[in-house]
Amino acid sequence: MDDETPRFLDCGESALSVEFGDSVDPAVNARVLALDERLRAAPPAGLRETTPTYRALFLRYEPLEISRAALIAAIEGLIAPLDADARALQPAARWTIPCCYDPEFAEDIGEAAALLGQTAQSLAQLHAGADYRAYMYGFAPGWCYLGGLPQALAIPRRATPRGPTPQGGALIGGALSLIAANPMPTGWYVVGRTPERMFALKRDPPFLVAPGDAVRFEPIDAETFLSLDARALAGETVARRETLL
Amino acid sequence: MSARLLIEAAGPGVTIQDEGRFGHSRYGVTPAGPMDLGAYLVATRAAGADSAIEVSLGGMTLRAEGATLCVAVAGGDFDIRLEGRPMPPACLLPLADGARLVLRAGASGAWCYVAVGGTLDLAPTLGSRATHARSGLGPKPLAAGDALMLAEAAEPPLEPLALAAPWLAASGAPIRVLLGPQEDYFTPEEIEAFLNARWRIGARSDRMAYRLEGPAIRHRRGHDIVSDGVAMGAIQIPGDGAPLALMADRQPTGGYPKIATVIGADLGRLAQLRPGEDLSFRAVEWDEAVAARRAYFAALEAGGTREPLGAEMTTESLLAENLVGGVVNARD
């Protein structure tokens, strides 16, 4: 694929995938988010919604209002050279998310550590020591996929899913980490748990971390988890946000 | 006294739907919305409603309380009885205070919409009243004993009226698809095999996905892709080669190649197929898909004809006369 030109893939006659690459790569994701931002700032008539993912921007549009050709022309007018898009590599904000790695909150940490040749303590240190990029949400509301997992923690996903994750589970699977907003069965490993609500309907805004934001985990003990959990339950945001741009 | 709709019985999978919960897919939120948008629009427009009850094959019994309600029904060819009297499968009717409306699976179709004129007193979540059971957003699936309050009840018609329902003309025509977005994960021979096969809707099909039973479709280069966005009607081929048509309750993103996507004009026809029924696919180009979309929505706009029921009219005679006549008109 030409590095500069995305592919335009039809997803039926009323959706289009603008594909910048086929890998999980911060530079590719930056181009997706840069186009997303420009389209949202000045949406062409007929564009209904944009959904950024790792490597493509998914567009829902009404073809009776804008033709595929006109939409693509509008997008091509918004795609900047690679170096300009690279600015989107810089996160707009950094989140520090409290995370408890005690085995009672990290149900799979012993199992994952054994598979990785680590101890539970070294796994927790590696997980909490890394800088992550929030690539995208998917699967279910508030499920936030994070790149930047240390190589030593890359782990094949389970062949058979485990039972439902705890709310706020910090998960690892493949080369990624993930915060699971609500209980769901998954093939990933639960290595920690945050008291923060990644998705809370009654809070404004209901979602905290934006795609492209930087994320770090701050280790907390069980007692701190319980006290922060009570505050989060009451509607407080217990993760910290720092504006970077 | 305020008007209410009492649910006396409801099969599994009877939910409230509006057009969908849009604008939050970037945070992992599924739009949900009706399985058959065309039928939903006919029902809601006829009744003057902003949402509808989506009735599954399990059927539903409901009763009006406190007022005579304006109720529109449209969807598959369901068996509909107003106080025991058969109604045509698409109809607008007065549901008198205390009167009972019974919907059961009929000759064909999997989903039916019941719209009540006025505003259901349901708080929106993230801007929508659509139920997405898996993520717990929107009202809970309806169950016997539930009551829906009506904030403003619309004026009911004086007598039951038949609505034009062009989609009810039995059609075994292939479901039209646009290839892609990942047709390059399949050889031309496998794409031919997909288009030439006779498929059967699998038993474990639901609002999230319809399972397609038939030949296994093999991938040319692996079955994992880096997750990307998923449209309703996307036909995903997972590792076992058994296609899944992703429907209203699909996840917003997915990590398997999508060989083709059902066009908007045929999504309702796919949705109305029942487990065990057969279908095939035909590939079209973007222009044909858009022309079909234009004709589909134009037919819905024009389909607002309302015919009084004759005294001895049965569902069968209505199907033979009024509704089939309506189909010809809508298509011309």
Express each pLDDT in B244-286 by its tens digit. 999 999 999 998 999 999 999 999 999 999 999 999 999 999 9
A141 and A239 part of one domain: yes
Burial class (CB in 10 A: 0-12, 13-18, 19+), B292: middle
Q: pLDDT at position A160, please?
A: 85
Q: pLDDT at position A79, please?
A: 87
B181 and A201: CB-CB below 8 Å? no
With pLDDT > 90 as the criterion, what percentage of chain A qualifies? 87
- Asked whether the ipTM of the predicted complex exceeds the cut of 0.90, the reply is yes
Q: Give the pTM.
A: 0.92
A81 and A136 part of one domain: no
Q: What is the pLDDT of residues A187-225, one digit of tens each?
A: 999 999 999 999 999 898 999 999 999 999 999 999 999
Residue B37 included in any domain:
yes
Residue B169 included in any domain:
no
Contact A182/B at CB under 8 A: yes
B183 and B216 part of one domain: yes
pLDDT band at B101 (very low <50, low <70, confident <90, very high): very high
Range(s) of the domain holding residue B287: 175-295
Q: pLDDT at position B54, please?
A: 98
CA distance B76 to chain A (A): 24
Q: pLDDT at position A82, please?
A: 64
CATH number at residue B266: 2.40.100.10
Which of A9, A68, A138 is facing B252, going by the closest CB pair? A138
Mean pLDDT of A134-150: 96
B288 and B325 part of one domain: no
Residue type, B105: A
A22 and A118 part of one domain: no
When the pLDDT of each residue in chain B is averaged and rounded to a whole number, the result is 91
Q: pLDDT at position B313, please?
A: 53
Residue A113 included in any domain:
yes
Indicate the pairing of strand B52-55 with strand B15-17. antiparallel
Of A58, A14, A60, A71, give the one whose Cα is nearest residue B289.
A14
B281 and B316 part of one domain: no
Q: pLDDT at position B327, please?
A: 40
Q: pLDDT at position B302, please?
A: 72
Cβ neighbours, 10 Å, residue B71: 29
B223 pLDDT higher than 60? yes
Please state the domain count of chain B: 2
CATH number at residue A225: 2.40.100.10
A10 and B261: CB-CB below 8 Å? yes
Mean pLDDT of B28-48: 96
Angle of helix B286-302 versus helix B264-271 axis, rounded to 10: 70
B136 and B16 part of one domain: yes
Range(s) of the domain holding residue A143: 93-243
Please state the domain count of chain A: 2
Residue B170 included in any domain:
no
Q: What does B34-56 look like in DSSP terms, one character per residue? A: -SSHHHHHHHHHHHTBS-EEEE-
Among A38, A66, A89, the domain boundary falls at A89
A117 and A213 part of one domain: yes
Chain B residue at shortest CA distance from A36: B26
Best A51, A71, A204 member to test B by mutation, with max B CBs in 10 Å, is A51
Which of B27, B234, B253 is facing A53, going by the closest CB pair? B253
Set of chain B residues whose Cβ sits within 8 Å of the Cβ of A206: 27, 126
A31 and A76 part of one domain: yes
Among A89, A117, A150, the domain boundary falls at A89
Contact A213/B at CB under 8 A: no
Among A89, A123, A156, the domain boundary falls at A89
Q: pLDDT at position B303, please?
A: 66
Mean pLDDT of A136-148: 96
pLDDT band at B330 (very low <50, low <70, confident <90, very high): very low
Which of B294-320 are b and which e, b meaning 16 or more Cβ less than 10 Å from the residue's Cβ?
eebbebbeebeeebebeeebebeebbe
Residue A1 included in any domain:
no
Residue type, B309: L
Angstrom distances, CA of residue A15 to CA of A99, A186, B251, B267, B290: 38, 28, 16, 14, 12
B190 and B244 part of one domain: yes
CATH number at residue A75: 3.30.1360.40
